[in-house]
Structure 1
Amino acid sequence: ADIYGFCIPFAAELLKLSKSSGIPIKVRLCDTMGYGLPYPDTVLPRSIPKMIHAFNSELGYPAEWLEWHGHNDFHKVHINGVTAWLYGCSALNASLLGYGERTGNPPLEAAVVEYIGLTGNDQGIDTTVITEIAEYFTKEVKADIPPNYPFVGSEFNTTRAGIHADGILKNPEIYNIFDTDKILNRPIRVMVTDKSGMSGIARWLNENIPSIKDGLREEITKRHPGVKHIYDWVMQEYEKGRTTSISPEELITQAKHYIPSLFESDFDKVRQEAIRIARKIAEKVSKAQEIEHLETLTMEPFLEKIIKKEGSIQLIALTNKDGFRISQVHTQHGEKGMFRNLLNKNFHKHDWFTEVVKTGQPYYSDLFFSKYTKRLILTAALPIRNQDGTMKAVIDIDFRFDELVKLITDLPDEIVDVK
């Protein structure tokens, strides 16, 4: 960029326009390729201190109207953003966990901690939300956060010093960057070694097993028989000459073997994800305009289109408030004959129908075997409402579990791996 030949003259005109109009005009200084450097002696346009000085001190562009937008191509995205702050740029563009185009932008969580460190004032910021953001990215976005990622990685405040769990409780400042429990709601953790003892193993399990962390299972004590088995396995590893700490993956494997009650089965995980997908499809179908008025000319072609598009659907049909069908029973190609008797049947005593009519809320069954196709299925039934909110019909959809599973993008390793 030609700082003095173009950028400064252009900003000068913007400043004149701002003064004449009384409207503040912000200027964003973009380092899209991450070429910026935090050193004041570097030549322009790479020197961030010189660049900010040119706009702020020489031209007189107000600091509160200057923004910095950096990228991490050369691992300097955070320090460059802080440098822009220190030299007179008041605003810093940042993103959650540094996500952004190519190498990403300044991590918001790092900027928050840096700001508090520079000013000594948290401005009422709830820093524990940083941990909640990381959990959301992991669970909902399915993002893979490196274990050693500062502030949010699963092992960022984990020590492999080989000390007893009791020791870290007595003096955590020796091993922790700050009070991570208070500031990030992340207590310091200890990796398991031959020095951890059964109390250290129990502590690790309580801090890392999701069912315990979420309050679904009670905490494990060192007296649990499973802890003793894991401890014996750990000691055997070191007796064989091992010198490294036990990895989380190894401990999880041992815990699954010796304390299986702490874990949800892989089938349960797949089942829950399949049900979630079925609900998403069912909710979208039930809100479609094509069935809103229950008109045959628009409703039937739409249902036919849905059954062809969604291979996970075994059957889809609509029923009135009295339990009688008001649409055709739409099925996958070649299966219509199996469900012929459902067209004239009354469903007022079926669970899926009675629950929707009674509660006015969607109904989702658990998995069961279809008596028609002998396949594992689940039923979704949802109300169709008038504009005033009153219910006028029920749409029921049977989903094939095996087809829903194919829509899951991240199956557990134990199911994917068929070695």
Structure 2
Amino acid sequence: MKIIKILLSITTIFLLAWVLPWLWDIATDKPNHYPFTYYSSVAETFGIRETINEQTTLKDAKGNTYTQAQFDNILPMVYFRQLTREGNLPDSLHGVEMNQKIIAMNNFYLRYRPADKNKPVIPLYTLFESMPKRVDLEMPGDRFRLTRKLEFVQPETNTIDKEKSNQFDAALREKGFMGPPKIVAGNPTTRKAYDEGYFIVDGQNKLFHLKMVNGRPYVGSVDLPEDINPVWITVTEYPARQFYAFLITDEGRLFTIFTGGYEVKEIPVPPFNPESDNLLIMGNLFYWNVEVTSETGQTLFAVDASDYQLKESVTFSAPDENEKLYSILFPFSLHFTSVNDEYVKPRIEFTGFAYLISAVLLLLGYILTRRYQKKSIPFWTAALILLTGTFGLLASIIIGNTEEN
């Protein structure tokens, strides 16, 4: 009976560690609305739009405030449609002609979340014809898989196209590909203007570019710096066709692979944690706004689009309301899902040793109550309260003392 109660108490503790932090998050959740921040190619500093208690402030990083019309004018890469409608879009900026088409073609957005890297992937890939006879891309009738060998599979008959498979596999191996691959990155959708195929990292950490041109394989070899280990690649296929892809390493370094020679250039922002941090790039003709968001806050970097040098940065701290009280009440929490991947599995997150404050107080209260009731103090119940704090005390109330029948 004693062992059964101990096991029931432990089970209850884990259930409470799942339910109580979840209820706490619901009761105290306040979304982190960071200010909209974008580097101004006119004011040469960050423009910041911040809303607090339904009051919106328009300012820049130097402390200057603006009206809405003034704010539109210092951020023409963002509000170009409004400026065009009002007739206020400049004809040129920094010696470059300005109009809606030019701005829209060179504006781009890239978003990275840890779940993008960690989510499960079905290893069957669609390879489009990169030079189709018609304007729109068309879905091919086959898919390819890539392990130690590249093979094209016909889904309807579940058969391998040996001739096409051998042709593309030979082209890859001729460039030095050694399977199985670590990364196969591409965009298997027809909702894009053109196709650049796939970027593939092989078992030797070498990077290759594979696409199909007029039904035949094209394979390019990309020279990566020796000290980098890619963990995520996204093929961009933006209208301006300036670069092929973005690459993130295990150290959180960010690289761009340019068209016209496969030049690999590092974006000069500090490394971030690709396992937990979010990345957003908002680029335009003149500057790239690189935004890194972590649990502690958000930092924005302005990178010059002409020489890729860091111009300026600004940081906003995340609010830490209720965090201290949470760590005092709960020694750990149990979760089955995570924003950082798409797997369902048990995950225990420890909050540290601050919970000992509440655990010791709860244990003292429990001991005094038992003494007042002139009852003995069960060792295992006391141990569970000391080790798990709030969870242990609630488990003893629900299940009862471990040494009582």
| Alignment TM-score, normalising by the size of structure 2 | 0.24
Please tell me whether Structure 1 or Structure 2 has the larger radius of gyration of its CA atoms: 1
Larger relative contact order (Cα-Cα within 8 Å, sequence gap ≥ 6): 2
